Amino acid sequence: MRVWSSEHKFDHSWETVVTANLNKYPNPITNAIVGIDVLERRINYGMLKQKRLILSQWSLPDWARRFVCGPACYATETSEIDPLSKTMTMKTTNITMSNKLAFEEKLTYTPHPTEPNVTILRQEATISVFGVPLSSFLEDFLTKNIVINANKGRQALEWVISQQQQS
């Protein structure tokens, strides 16, 4: 099992970052995400809760793809936006090959405690590969891929914000 975490500051208000996050796909930076379908969306006690199905094409070498997910991977993403506490939490879990790969990612967006136009992103991911050869190597490889994709995700969010500000 591998655990990865990071913290990032966006120089934008929480409302701006959350709005951009809801409109993040498609974008030219994270083109591995090829489809998203909303499975459920509801407002409960003032909080927006939604569940989406995500289709992605990981940029893995063929040998790793055979062990892990094939050409395309499905995951579910659940999110909860609480405008009163100004918290957005997103959890993503893989569906594809879940008997060989367990992947969970959690992103939490909150306003900076002292800077009103800054938003903090806390990101955590856990990966476990089991029942295949070289599972420890695959876990390391996938963790490195998560770091690359997390950076792309932050760049994509900045891109969406810049597009929204131009509109």
Delineate the domains of the chain, giving CATH numbers in brackets: 2-166 (3.30.530.20)
pLDDT at site 60: 64
DSSP the chain: -EEEEEEEEESS-HHHHHHHHHT--S-SS-TTEEEEEEEEEEEETTEEEEEEEEEE-----HHHHHHHT-S-EEEEEEEEEETTTTEEEEEEEE-TTTTTEEEEEEEEEEE-SS-TT-EEEEEEEEEEE-SSTTHHHHHHHHHHHHHHHHHHHHHHHHHHHHHHHH-
pLDDT at site 68: 60
pLDDT at site 123: 98
pLDDT at site 63: 65
pLDDT at site 69: 62
pLDDT at site 133: 80
Residues of the chain with pLDDT under 70: 58-70
pLDDT at site 131: 86
pLDDT at site 134: 83
